[in-house]
Chain A
Amino acid sequence: MSAHASTVITGTTPLWYATRATGVISLVLLSASVVLGILLQTRAATENWPRLVVAGVHRNISLLVCVFLAVHILTAEADTFAPVGWWAVAIPFVSTYRPLWLGFGTVAADLFLALIVSSLLRTRISHRTWRLIHWAAYLCWPIAVIHGLGAGTDTRTPAVLLLTLACVAAVLATAVWRLISNWRSHPRARVAAAAAGLASIITAALWALAGPLAPGWSAKADTPTRGGAAPTAGTTAAALALPVSASVTGTVQTVATGADQQTVTLAGTGGSDVFRIAITGPPNSGGGVQMTASQVTFGTAASPNLYTGTITVLNGDTIQARVTDPAGAKATLTVVATISGSQLTGTLQAIAGG
């Protein structure tokens, strides 16, 4: 998480940290399990690691993934500042927070559940059925990686990035070895698998470089359909054409508004548009407030209160608000703010609907 944002906005920090940490650990353990699973298939073994032991470790690590994955999901649920929604745990793409990338997480978790349940029931189902379901591991793992890159706010942190790369490298190296060793059997299937694997890796790498690893991803992650280019300049006083995407600068002010209450106000301009976000609540010991109420306005310089509404997501450096205009038209405002002292810089996106 970017170091400078936490002075103003904090959610339920321990839960959010737990979610991110268990997410990373789950991915590492899952990658280890996949590596061992592939090694089992290639009949690899050494003196000190007989295949019986490799099989046992593969099983135990997979069960450990269950534990960390469960904590990851539960903490994400409990964290009300990133309303994932209980349905989103099982059904992909219905979360209101970063629906697309969280959806991938849900898909991976669903696939993983199928893997675990089928493996626990292995002696009761036919071997062919179990084997068919287990192939889903080759789908579950990359989706989990993509989920981590897309939904995680830590993606550009060197530590997490390095870990992810290490996991990907390990799995890829093992998979390549599986394809090459004993390549004489099923040569066509191996070539097809290699081609498919290579294509997905290149696509994923390009996407990662352009997407999660580029700055400003967090804001874009909330908006699956990106807005247009510069905001329309010279619009009439009463009209503001959406979508809008702009860099913003502004100020931050904290004012006591009650016995145990403070209001943090972020106000800024981007292009010809202005916004004002007020967050009210009991102060946090480490700075910032625990939001109990909020008020958001967005509009042009001439009509600053064109859209009004409240915050829906408050997470790290990202603020998402649902606003409506007097006619009832809805819009979703997303501000990613980097704060130092009382100055703020960042990006603003506004799209219709929400």
Chain B
Amino acid sequence: MTREESSGPRLRLNPIQCEAHGLCLQALPEMLTSDPWGYPVLIDAPVPPHLLAHARRAVTVCPTLALKLD
């Protein structure tokens, strides 16, 4: 049931909290793209080290704290 997670921090989205403000898309366009309705589509891969700071920023800037990094 649980897939083997390759090592590294991963982004997770709480779709109930997400209200498509879109700030995360601006903070981390390398890993987050918009669906037809403005909600973020996450790439299923760990966050590479050079994007970690941007990923953290995407997490803190979300107005509803829907994005998590673990």
Contacts and interface: CB of A to CB of B under 8 A. Distances in A.
Indicate if A touches B (C-beta under 8 A). Answer: yes
A54 B64 CA distance: 16
Contacts of A50: 26
A33 to B, nearest CB: 16
A38 interface: no
Contact of A51 (B17, B26, B59, B60): B26
Interface string A54-76: 01100000000000000000000
A52 B27 contact: yes
A122 B23 contact: no
A55 B65 contact: no
A127 interface: yes
A203 interface: no
A123 B17 CA distance: 14
Interface string B1-18: 000000000000000010
A55 B23 contact: yes
B61 A55 contact: yes
A40 interface: yes
Contact of B59 (A43, A52, A55, A123): A123
Interface residues of B, number: 12
Contacts of A123: 59-60, 65
Interface string B48-70: 00000000000111011100000
Interface string A99-114: 0000000000000000
SS class of chain A's interface: helix, strand, loop or mixed? Answer: helix
Interface in A269-327: none
Contacts of B60: 122-123
A127 B59 CA distance: 13
Contacts, number: 24
Contact of A52 (B26, B64, B65): B26
A115 to B, nearest CB: 15
Contacts of B26: 50-52
Name the residue among B21, B23, B60 with the largest chain A CB count within 10 angstroms: B23
B65 to A, nearest CB: 5
A348 to B, nearest CB: 55
Contacts of A56: 61
B12 to A, nearest CB: 14
Contacts of B17: 127
Nearest to B64: A127
A293 B29 CA distance: 69
Contacts of B22: 51
A37 to B, nearest CB: 11
Nearest to B63: A40
Contacts of A122: 60, 65
Interface in A105-136: 122-123, 127, 130
A7 B22 CA distance: 59
A137 to B, nearest CB: 14
Contacts of B59: 123
Contacts of B61: 52, 55-56
A55 B64 CA distance: 13
A257 to B, nearest CB: 64
Nearest to B17: A127
A148 B30 CA distance: 47
Interface of A: 40, 43, 50-52, 55-56, 122-123, 127, 130
Going nearest first, the 8 A-B pairs with the smallest beta carbon separation are A52-B26, A127-B65, A52-B23, A50-B26, A51-B23, A55-B61, A52-B27, A127-B64
Interface of B: 17, 21-23, 26-27, 59-61, 63-65
16 contacts: A40-B63, A43-B21, A50-B26, A51-B22, A51-B23, A51-B26, A52-B23, A52-B26, A52-B61, A55-B61, A56-B61, A122-B65, A123-B59, A123-B65, A127-B65, A130-B65
Given A50-B26, A127-B65, 6 more contacts: A51-B22, A51-B23, A52-B61, A55-B23, A122-B65, A123-B59
